[in-house]
Amino acid sequence: MEITLNSGFKMPIVGLGVWRMEKEGIRDLIINAINLGYRHLDCAADYKNEAEVGEALAQVFKTALVKREDLFITTKLWNSDHGHVIEACKDSLKKLQLDYLDLYLVHFPVATKHTGVGTTDSALGEDGVLDIDTTISLETTWHDMEKLVSMGLVRSIGISNYDVFLTRDCLAYSKIKPAVNQIETHPYFQRDSLVKFCQKHGICVTAHTPLGGATANAEWFGTVSCLDDPALKEVADKYKKTVAQVVLRWGMQRNTVVIPKTSKPERLEENFKVFDFELAKEDMEVIKSMDRKYRTNQPAKFWGIDLYA
């Protein structure tokens, strides 16, 4: 299953996120994922593992497991490189050992102190608060993103963690419309208004943290996962599926792309077995009623400021 972006390119509806993935295990995990049928990888400069992903990609191309055109590769511009978009993109391409990206996203709608291309630091001021660069506008950053398309380095460009207001502004000043807005969304944080706004204006929504963060976010942010919700377990039992599979299928039936992250081979396979069933309308409504407006990914813990405030 694929979604056709407003750029005309097709994006697989299920991908593998590589955030917080251990460097030494990436190669085998990506090869395993491709063998299972994954064709979409979601990366970012800030994940600090692009070079390891690149080594895995080089191997799968060399062994003819897949061709470059068979894969959809996303990576992201970090906050500290907003004034160096072209250099940052080229740095990511070099690490990933690719000639072009299928999708390049503005990771967060904020420019921060530049610390060197590709270093992806989040410099804090003396007050312990993120050192935000107020001289670079998001419009300037976006026009530099558009240059990447004309240069042939990127096929589609998009945004990430943008709300309705910022997305609307991007639509107003863009010459090339954002193809994607990647946001946190799951049964406990459905963000229906933002999802509908994006889809109404031809922007595909990708759900990062589509399983509500699970163990990873519980460890980092002390949050609760929707995977333990009794109502979801009841729905999963009805379809003889796991809760994770039901949650991913729910995301797919909202016409959002889902990019679950896992380092476990058994979860990798489980997360891809979501094409052989469909949730009934009444079960979609059950899940819709579970919204808590509950964000699980909160970088304020590291930045000393809540950018979502």
Q: Which residues are annotated as a binding site for substrate?
A: 107
Rounded Cα–Cα distance for residues 73 and 68 (Å) = 9
| 55-60: long-range pairs with CB below 8 Å, 24+ | 55/27, 55/97, 56/26, 56/27, 56/30, 56/31, 57/30, 57/96, 57/97, 57/98, 58/97, 59/27, 59/31, 60/30, 60/31, 60/34
Rounded Cα–Cα distance for residues 119 and 128 (Å) = 19
- The first and second tokens of residue 20, run together, are 């917080």
Of 175, 195, 193, 173, the residue nearest 183 (C-alpha): 195
* Angle (deg, nearest 10), helices 164-173 and 192-200: 20
- The first and second tokens of residue 8, run together, are 């005309």
CA of 142: how far to CAs of 110, 159, 275, 295, in Å? 12, 9, 35, 26
Is 47 marked active-site?
A: yes
Q: Which of 47, 104, 162, 188 is catalytic?
A: 47
Sheet holding 72-77, edge to edge: 16-17, 40-42, 72-77, 101-106, 154-160, 180-184, 204-208, 257-258
Question: What residues are designated binding site?
Answer: 107
- The first and second tokens of residue 67, run together, are 């061709």
Phi, psi values for residue 278, rounded to 5°:
-140, 135
Catalytic residues: 47
